[in-house]
């Protein structure tokens, strides 16, 4: 834990997503994985250590988060893992030139509702380019009116809830937080919705 700034702290969602990555480690060698909003990059680092070809990314406007990604790679003997500045909702040369992707990782990216549509715009763009890819994401339920259902529908995306007990992440030391209040961690997999007639 470097600092309690957003992208430089290992949040409970990152630990839960890393557990899901670990539970699927046998399927990861040679998979192409992009972590968005990576910060300290725990899920991406686990994927890379399991043999995936990983690219880490965070906002190009947050150099300290990009540096956290690089530091995590160096500390975990992964100096070859590329780190890109990708800002949600922005079509940049880096986004356009990304190689094909199989899995997108994002832990606790659904934090601030003002970012939700930008995140899903970026996810939709990536899934359109990679129709078989999936977005594995964990989030903390912070509000009763927290929902991305309408945005998923708008962007022709679907989600599947993944119960934490199905991959051993329902243990208190994984999905809990020492922060005040109750913070329930959830996981879902987002993919392209089937188009009409297919």
What's the fold here for domain 12-192?
Rossmann fold (3.40.50)
DSSP code at position 6 = G
Q: What is the pTM of this model?
A: 0.87
So where are the chain's domains? 12-192
Q: In whole angstroms, what is the distance from residue 84 CA to residue 140 CA?
A: 25
Calpha distance 48→79 (Å, rounded): 11
Contact 65, 43 (CB under 8 A): no
CA distance 139 to 155: 19
Instruction: Give me the tens of pLDDT residue by residue for the chain, a chain 198 residues long.
Output: 344 455 556 778 899 999 999 999 999 999 999 999 998 899 999 999 999 999 999 988 888 888 888 998 999 999 999 999 999 999 899 999 999 999 999 998 988 888 999 999 999 999 999 999 999 999 887 666 677 888 999 999 999 999 988 988 876 655 555 544 455 888 999 999 975 444
């Amino acid at each position: 834990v470097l600092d309690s700034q957003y992208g430089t702290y290992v949040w409970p969602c990152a630990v839960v997503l890393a557990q899901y990555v670990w539970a699927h480690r046998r399927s990861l060698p040679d998979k192409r994985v992009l972590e968005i909003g990576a910060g300290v990059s725990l899920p991406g680092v686990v994927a890379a250590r399991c043999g995936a070809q990983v690219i880490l990314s965070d906002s190009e406007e947050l150099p300290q988060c990009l540096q956290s990604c690089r530091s995590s790679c160096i500390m975990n003997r992964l100096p070859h893992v590329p780190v890109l500045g990708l800002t949600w909702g922005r079509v940049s040369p880096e986004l356009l030139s990304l190689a094909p992707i199989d899995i997108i990782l994002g832990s606790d990216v659904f934090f601030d509702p003002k970012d939700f549509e930008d995140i899903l715009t970026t996810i939709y763009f990536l899934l359109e380019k990679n129709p078989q890819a999936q977005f594995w994401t964990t989030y903390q339920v912070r509000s009763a009116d927290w929902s991305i259902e309408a945005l998923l529908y708008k962007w022709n995306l679907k989600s599947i809830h993944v119960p934490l007990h199905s991959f051993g992440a329902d243990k208190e030391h994984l999905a809990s937080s020492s922060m005040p209040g109750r913070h329930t961690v959830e996981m879902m997999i987002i993919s392209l919705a089937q188009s009409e007639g297919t």
